[in-house]
Structure 1
Amino acid sequence: MAMTDEELFLASMGDVTPLAQTNHVELTRLKHSPTIAQLEKRRAAQLELDFDSNFLSTEYVDLLDPFELLAFKKSGVQEGVYKNLRLGKYQIDATLDLHGKTFYEARSALFDFVLDCYSRNIRVLLVRHGLGLKSKPFPAILKSYTNKWLQEMPQVLAYHSALSCHGGSAATYVLLKKSEEKKLENKERHAKR
């Protein structure tokens, strides 16, 4: 004789004990990989952190005359090297133009430019900041901050206002340190064998 569906069900469930009645249900959290929106949010937060890594000052600066020459060198820079920079005798390897940029755009552009050039072993730069004759509320704001910012960057060894053929006092030659990679390369090249 064939068993009915009900008899089959009861036979298969014979060793099952019923659960005790309770109003408490325990939920376990399933681990899901982050959604595209969550990943994008994380990326935006990281970019914001990276932006904050820009340590260039936004505080008060002594305002310069628009036609004032910029000149700075760290101790240890040889006079001959500084003189050659001042006289524009080094090949300019990269140029940054800050004309028409807002204060924060210029700050970010200069910071990124110097770090990028340093990482690529580019040593001599030309930064065009302009005279700032028409800048508001005071003249030469960007020039004054460029002067301050370049001194704050450890990669910068020296700088001097450019010759008139490269922009005169509206532009500045900048000399960067050798990267650690270049220093090691020179050390190996000049080592006694």
Structure 2
Amino acid sequence: MSRRKLRPDEQELWQKVTHSTTPLPQALRRAAETPKPVVRRKSEPEKMDLPTAFGIGSRASKTPHGQITTPQPTPKAKPAMDTKTYGKMRRGKLVPEARIDLHGMTLDQAHPALTRFILTSYSRGFRLVLVITGKGERDDPHDPMPRQRGILKRQVPMWLRMAPLNTAVLDVSEAHIRHGGGGAYYVYLRRTARS
């Protein structure tokens, strides 16, 4: 803020204000003049208990600064399947034995179709299937409200990790570009009892 000279009328008003005030008592004046030292503790940062997954009916937690956050799933350290097969799958070298395309379906249509497809594939002894969700509708630049795109892309991995599909699914990962890239998932199924 720049300091400018006061006009005569402003200076007169300031003089009236300063003469009409009473000085603080000595103790309060000293306390106001000396800033309090900042004490920093050398302790471990506060640990927060966050739920491991954000599910239906759970609430978002607040950070110490009052910001609302939603817990993010922790990334897997290693895949649930053997490393060699996982590497081949991620590079697109394995060919899926079956595929389902959920493009254009609503959530109410896609969930039963996906459940039926996964359980049927599992009972047939398939190991690798491809679930095509699509990337979602493109964002409308003229839409006044930003919207999340790709509801199926977000929901399908959650469905695959919930009952009854979690008993058949060993691992889920994004497909190689040759099989759909960001708009598809590889679903590696467990071995059936007879395989």
Short-chain TM bin: 0.5 to 0.7
Q: 1:93 to 1:72 in 2, by over 3 A?
A: farther
Aligned equivalents of 1:177 and 1:162: distance in 2?
Answer: 18
Contact 1:88 1:162 in 2 (8 A): yes
Which secondary structure does the structure 2 equivalent of 1:114 belong to? helix
- Report the AA paired with residue 132 of structure 1: G
Residue 115 of structure 1 corresponds to 119
Which of 148, 153, 164 is the equivalent residue of 2:158?
A: 148
Aligned-partner Cα distance in 2 for 1:109–1:90: 24
Which structure 2 segments of 5+ residues have no match?
1-54, 59-69, 140-145
TM-aligned CA distance change 1:82 to 1:72, over 3 Å: farther
1:131, CA displacement in angstroms? 0.5
Answering whether residue 59 of structure 2 is matched by residue 81 of structure 1, we say no
Distance in 2 (alpha carbons) for counterparts of 1:123 and 1:178 = 7
Of 89, 94, 104, the residue aligned with 1:90 is: 94
Query: How far 1:174 moved relative to its partner?
Result: 1.1
CA apart distance, 1:105: 0.7
Letter in 2 for 1:88: G
Following superposition, the deviation at residue 81 of structure 1 comes to: 2.0
Question: In 2, Cα distance between the equivalents of 1:93 and 1:130?
Answer: 19
Which one has a bigger Cα radius of gyration?
Answer: 1
Query: Which residue identity lines up with residue 101 of structure 2 in the other structure?
Result: D
CA contact (8 A) 1:95 1:127 kept: yes
Residues 174-193 of structure 1 aligned to structure 2 (within 5 Å): 174-182=187-195
CA distance in 2, matches of 1:134, 1:83: 31
Structure 1 residues without counterparts, runs of 5 or longer: 1-56, 65-69, 183-193
2:183 equivalent among 154, 157, 170:
170
Q: What percent identity do the matched residue pairs reach?
A: 33
- Residue 112 of structure 1, CA deviation: 0.5
Partner SS, residue 104 of structure 1: helix
Q: TM-score, normalised by structure 2?
A: 0.53
CA distance in 1, matches of 2:126, 2:175: 18
Cα 1:178–1:95 shift into 2, 3 Å: same
**In the alignment, which residue of structure 1 is the partner of 2:10?**
none
Task: Find 1:124's aligned residue among 111, 128, 132.
Answer: 128
Pair 1:150–1:71, CA change in 2 (3 A):
farther
> Structure 1 168/72 Cα, relative in aligned 2: closer, same or farther at 3 Å?
farther
- Aligned length, in residue pairs: 118
What is the CA-CA distance between 1:175 and the residue it aligns to? Answer: 0.7
CA shift in 2, pair 1:72/1:140, >3 Å: farther
- d(CA) in 1 for partners of 2:190, 2:170: 6
